Amino acid sequence: MGSIKISAIKRLFAMSANECAFPECRSPIIESSGTVTGEIAHIKAANKNGPRYDASQTDDERNSFDNLILLCSRHHTIVDSEIDLYPADLIQKFKSEHAQKSVVGISPLTEFASKMLLDNYNQNVVIHSNSGQVVINSPGAIQAKTVNIKSQKVKAVYPIPEGAVSGVLGMNSYIEYLIGKYKDFQKQDIPKQSNYKYMAIYNAMKREFGSKWQLLPASSFELIVVFLQKKIDNSRVGRIRKKSGQKNYHSYSEHLERIGAL
């Protein structure tokens, strides 16, 4: 039996814009929290008992990029349950149209997101219609004609990519410091005249940079710092402090000295 290659998933994810390929669906494949909620789906089933199975395909063709699509778990269930409404040609059209609307982007997230998607898929493998015995993880193997493998994990969280800003101790610490300063200023805003709730900073950063900040490359550090410093300065407490000549935050070099990184 063939297997899905990580290169195919990287290509799928890069073309997905991190969104389900079902029309009008904007559900993310990877949540900003790092939780993998999207799924790898076969357009034509990987096994004989699956939806839209094509006996003329080889195992390699079944598991190739051309026969795979990324969907949210809801739409994956729908297209595989309502086969008459969602034939292979229509799902292939979904994939093509979604790719045309998306901007292909390779980022530090791509490799790790692809690995987690593939890990999730492999942990939920179902082997059907086997003519002999299936042996898994020998020695101490399980032998059976049909084996259902189901992961007990509720969610998967991918690790921080190499070269990400959060992987650099000083940068990670300073960004956390600025986020904490923003939250502190918002908490002090007793009349709550500001338009920002202090916990909204994470969503604001995601909208600005298109990703969870920890996953951004280290080269984005200065942009993140400028963004956060402006947020702090434009908060109600920040504006009051600036008018009175008080500093709203210390500089990056000062921060490094404080944490003993210099």
Domain-terminating residue out of 97, 122, 147: 122
- Greatest extent of the chain over all pairs of C-alpha atoms, in Å: 80
- pLDDT at 157 > cutoff 70: no
Strands (E), the chain: 38-42, 68-72, 126-127, 134-136, 142-144, 147-148
Mean pLDDT for 237-257 is 92
147 Cβ neighbours under 8 A, 6+ residues apart: 126, 127, 134, 136
Per-residue model confidence as pLDDT tens digits over 73-129: 899 999 999 989 999 999 999 999 888 765 545 455 666 677 777 777 776 654 444
Give the total number of structural domains in the chain. 2
Asked if the structure places residue 45 within a domain, the reply is: yes
Asked if the structure places residue 143 within a domain, the reply is: no
Domain encompassing residue 193: 165-258
- pLDDT at 144 > cutoff 60: no
Query: For 205, phi and psi rounded to 5 degrees?
Result: -70, -40
Per-residue model confidence as pLDDT tens digits over 160-207: 677 888 888 889 889 989 998 998 888 887 555 444 454 578 888 888
- Interatomic CA distance for residues 257 and 208, integer angstroms: 29
pLDDT of residue 110: 66
Asked if the structure places residue 135 within a domain, the reply is: no
Asked if the structure places residue 82 within a domain, the reply is: yes
Mean pLDDT for 128-151 is 43
- pLDDT at 141 > cutoff 60: no
- Average pLDDT across the chain, whole number: 78
Mean pLDDT for 28-49 is 84
Q: Please indicate, yes or no, whether residues 27 and 116 belong to a single structural domain of this protein.
A: yes
Q: Please indicate, yes or no, whether residues 106 and 169 belong to a single structural domain of this protein.
A: no
- Exposed / middle / buried, residue 56 (Cβ in 10 Å: 0-12, 13-18, 19+): exposed
Q: Please indicate, yes or no, whether residues 118 and 175 belong to a single structural domain of this protein.
A: no
Residue 18, token pair as written in the block: 């991190």
Q: Please indicate, yes or no, whether residues 118 and 170 belong to a single structural domain of this protein.
A: no
**Whether this model's pTM surpasses 0.95:** no
Asked if residue 161 has a cis previous peptide bond (ω within 30° of 0), the answer is no
Asked if the structure places residue 54 within a domain, the reply is: yes
